[in-house]
Chains A and B, each alone.
Chain A
């Protein structure tokens, strides 16, 4: 099996057309790869571009230069240049993403929010909901909340719904944007063991963890994002 994720010479900047076209460089020459069963952690201060790197890999941010190579259906696909349809397929089958905040949809129950990615992959509704229930139970989300839409949940409850949703599938690549930020110690430990299970089953993971204990527990290596940062005087 080819390396699940190869990032080479990726650059990102924001051009603010409403502010006289001012260009804000974020990162340049981002190069690394992640092996199956490895958890790499992006390190560096806030604003260094860690989230931007995750978002580019997920196709959520446009890429200015470079390549992000992911194997998909016996081919190597460059996410930086993939058309929307291919990208949706890659998200369904290859790359999972646990964002910092849950984007809730009105009227959809927590259990269905979690089960949705499995159903999208063709698992039957009952099987998907059973698995969602076991994940939510494992994350100690009270059962009385499962049938409610998560919009009114606390930050920590929403984050657990988000984690369950991200971990329910067996995507070969998993991106984690501070999944433990609003969790208590007990649930942080649950997430750490979930990450270790994913590692053992060969998932390639790339994460951002500000919590040092979590980072210590899961990281195989730290990728220092400041090495990719673009100093402002280099901007045009």
Chain B
């Protein structure tokens, strides 16, 4: 177990005019740790994710990331070019809608290979081999490598987006409702796949979801958000089996039993 966190977030806030996006969020994320951020629509979880992933400038607070050289850098004191490089190499971002994270008019293989080229790979044969290997890991048949994601089903597109994000061996992956919009059987397959990859690669991940079953299956730790604030945080099974905050109790008791 590593003794230094990967990400240190302190007093992070984002206001939209006088409205609160998220307020006073403080936490640390450790290597290999999967954190789920749960809450209903409008609770500020996506705002928080975007502030962490440098997609949205926060109004106050700081986000520090431990670079590969071991030094902590404040993300919002880096140059735009440095942030983009981090985003392309050391991080992944899995969007709810795969079309937001894929290039729909280039082939599946190129979608994966593009990330490799961004980190300096130039050898076509090697890139294609790695891309094929990754398509296999996300259970996309080899003979689909030259097809465009436009021709893929929603579940396949989402798996392709995951391959595209993980191919560069990122240390931190952000996921925004990664199983939203997929039907249940496709969801189960994707979750199982994600769970296996996260375990095998020792990834740290921040997963935003409104689905507590997804949080239960994927995460070690949960943060519950309401109206832009964190109302409860703790070990995933503790928060779900013995919720303390009134809002968490409401969320947990609202799950339909099958």
Contacts and interface: CB of A to CB of B under 8 A. Distances in A.
Interface stretch (B63-71, B151-159, B230-238): B230-238
Contacts of A1: none
A61 B30 CA distance: 23
Interface stretch (A103-111, A165-173, A189-197, A214-222): A103-111
Given A55-B241, A85-B30, A106 B235 contact: no
Contact of B249 (A16, A55, A59, A89): A16
A62 interface: yes
Nearest to A108: B192
A89 B244 CA distance: 23
B188 A84 contact: no
Interface residues of B, number: 23
Interface in A70-122: 84-85, 87-89, 105-108
A87 B220 CA distance: 10
B238 A62 contact: yes
Given A18-B246, A18-B250, A55-B241, A84 B221 contact: yes
B30 A60 contact: no
A186 interface: no
A84 B1 contact: no
B33 A85 contact: yes
Contacts, number: 50
A144 interface: no
A84 B237 contact: no
B195 interface: yes
A102 B144 CA distance: 38
A120 to B, nearest CB: 8
B238 A61 contact: yes
A105 B221 contact: no
Given A105-B192, A108-B192, A61 B250 contact: no
Nearest to B240: A60
Nearest to A106: B188
B142 interface: no
B253 interface: yes
A175 to B, nearest CB: 14
A62 B242 contact: yes
Nearest to A92: B1
Interface in B49-96: none
Contact of A84 (B220, B242, B244, B246): B220
Nearest to A103: B216
A84 B235 contact: yes
Nearest to A73: B1
Contact of A107 (B30, B192, B220, B235): B192
Contacts of B234: 62, 84
B104 interface: no
Contact of A89 (B1, B191, B238, B246): B1
B192 A106 contact: yes
B106 interface: no
A16 B252 CA distance: 12
B238 to A, nearest CB: 6
Given A18-B246, A84-B221, A106 B238 contact: no
B246 A107 contact: no
Interface of B: 1, 30, 33, 188-189, 191-192, 195, 217, 220-221, 234-235, 237-238, 241-242, 244-246, 249-250, 253
Interface of A: 14-18, 55, 59-62, 84-85, 87-89, 105-108
Given A61-B241, A106-B189, 8 more contacts: A16-B249, A18-B250, A61-B238, A62-B238, A62-B242, A85-B30, A89-B1, A105-B192
